[in-house]
A and B are shown apart, each in its own frame.
Chain A
Amino acid sequence: MTDKKMVETLIYTKSESLTELGTHYCPGCTHGISHRLIAEVIDEMGVREDTIGIAPVGCAVFAYDYFNMDFAEAAHGRAPAMATGLKRVNPDKIVFTYQGDGDLASIGAAEIMHTAGRGENITVIFINNAIYGMTGGQMAPTTLPGQKTTSTPLGRDIEMHGFPMRMCEILSQLDGASYVVRRSLHNVANIRKAKKAIRQAFEVQRQGLGFSMVELLSSCPTNWGMTADEALKWVGESMVEAYPLGDYKVSPEIKGMKKGGGG
């Protein structure tokens, strides 16, 4: 041991890109983690004053109250179209949408497809928790086969409701999409990987390289009827199996891109 003088140092505190307001999310809901990661990336890139967010309809409808930056509230599923309009007249700003699975993969399926197809230079944070949270736990387009929800009380029957939509796999087929990856928030190691992907997605936009999306496998303890801890375990087991983690599309320009600070 050296006898260097030790001083108590602040290691971690709430991000400046978040407001002081406490969120309305249920205890253990990973929306809070996603918000935090986005906010920390924006802090680290120093772009808070140049960033405009678009909130969805769904549990994250109040995101504009929690992020400390310019924000707009979209109609259900239309955030990518709104972001397109905003970005086209504000090409120098960072524009991101924050969307749930019902918003992005169901009612907004057309908007996300064409925004990705156009290679719109925006970033999409896609929260996949396999359920409609805000309306009280109904089937989502990403609900797993057999999963019980308040609108599939006997479990999702694929004969009746069809199969879950794997959005990363679908969007990665579009030439316009530049960076499409799936991460999970079920434990600390994966949360750290998720943050790196979010950083990379925002860097892709900052460098004008086109459409970026990070899908985050997330939990909904309340509507799944689990504790926060059990819910994360279910994400790690069942959801990761149904929605494999990975980089589904990383365009050659991005591979050649200089690594960002957090990338």
Chain B
Amino acid sequence: MAKELLKGNHAFAEAAIRAGCEAYFGYPITPQTEALEHMSKRMPELGRVFLQAESEVAAINMVYGAACAGVRVMSSSSSPGVSLMMEGLSYIAGSELPVVLVDIMRGGPGLGNIAPSQGDYNQIVKGGGHGDYRPIVLAPASVQEFIDLTVEAFDLAEKYRCIVIILADGSLGQMMEPAELPEMREVRRFEERPPWSLSGAKGRTPNVISSFYLDPLNEEEVNRRLMAKQAEIEANEIRFRELMLDDAEIAVVAFGTSGRIAQSAIKNAREEGIRVGLLRPISLYPFPYERIRQLGDNVKEILVVEMNSGQMLGDVRIGIEGRIPISFYGRQGGVVPMPDEVLEEIQKVNSRSSAS
């Protein structure tokens, strides 16, 4: 398919449709509403399910219900709305259902604002809802990557019967870029729904989908199964991109939009002769700890850049294990850092590490 100019929110919604998403439930919230609007038109056209729920609480529980039926189902929202979904997400995680969610992060805490932010990192990447679980979290940095990761999210969710969250921000949702959409995939036929799904117990013993295990030993067994699944995910699903790290003395680590901004700054720094490279984690869970650990052997200092007060920073520290200095540059509350600001930080780190 040819490239076309696509807005992030429209692009991921259309990508989900083409990945065979059969049902979408959501609630309007800026800056992701265009996705819901796109779904409201396209899904009925294709004979699929779109429903605007009365709240994000209801939306995620509708997703939960449809996921029980074994269809490809998703929702999308933005930070405050995603907070409301945490209860439902925990139930979905405990019931081991495949679900895709997109969080177009905005400034917070509280009502915050509608500007781009990465303030939900801890909430989303570390679990979010109550109890012991981790969703797979993928962070795109361009509209094309947003499309590709959305399609992949459905496959991963079904492969591991888990939640996959695409963590993007308001600028990715709103920006327009040339990108290519995938081929249209038909929705699964009723007969092809998975054997665990709720479809009426015709000629079989009933299926029950629940996250309730009153006996702690049974609940522990479920937790161990989730842990085993996480180990498999950690072994197989780590994704990152890197740029100019081969000879780098400084490594910038940044995800999503911050990663993209850092990339511009790094190119400028290289022109000044600073040996700096970029590691951009794409899978935030599973996090590329091993690659970060290697960086600890190869560079002198790490600079973490985020649109928050230092959340992924904690994971970078885990990977570095205290071996080299880590500095942090962040803008908060919906402020997007400019490449020049990041360049200045790189220069500071460079003069410090050259002096040492």
Contact = CB atoms under 8 A, between A and B. Distances in A.
Contact flag (A, B; Cβ within 8 A): yes
Interface of A: 48-52, 54-55, 61-62, 64-65, 67-75, 78, 81-90, 93, 110-111, 113-114
Contacts of B22: 89
A86 B66 contact: yes
B209 A73 contact: yes
A75 B87 contact: yes
B209 A72 contact: yes
Interface residues of B, number: 39
Q: Which 5 A-B pairs have the closest CB atoms?
A: A85-B65, A85-B62, A73-B210, A81-B61, A82-B65
Contacts of B209: 71-73
27 contacts: A50-B200, A65-B208, A67-B206, A69-B200, A69-B206, A70-B199, A70-B200, A70-B207, A71-B206, A72-B95, A73-B95, A75-B64, A75-B87, A75-B91, A81-B57, A81-B58, A85-B65, A85-B68, A85-B69, A89-B23, A89-B71, A89-B73, A90-B200, A93-B200, A110-B58, A113-B54, A114-B58
A65 B214 CA distance: 13
A89 B95 CA distance: 19
A49 B202 contact: yes
Interface in B47-69: 49, 51, 53-55, 57-59, 61-69
Contacts of B133: none
Nearest to A75: B91
B100 to A, nearest CB: 14
Contacts of A88: 23, 49, 51, 62, 66
A121 B24 CA distance: 18
A59 B187 CA distance: 38
Contacts of A49: 200-203
Contacts of B208: 64-65, 70-73
Interface string B188-222: 00000000001111110011111110000000000
Interface hub of B55, B71, B208 (most chain A Cβ within 10 A) = B208
A52 B54 contact: no
Given A70-B206, A73-B212, A81-B61, A93 B66 contact: no
Given A73-B209, A73-B210, A75-B91, A85 B23 contact: yes
B244 to A, nearest CB: 47
B25 A85 contact: yes
A228 B46 CA distance: 55
B66 A64 contact: no
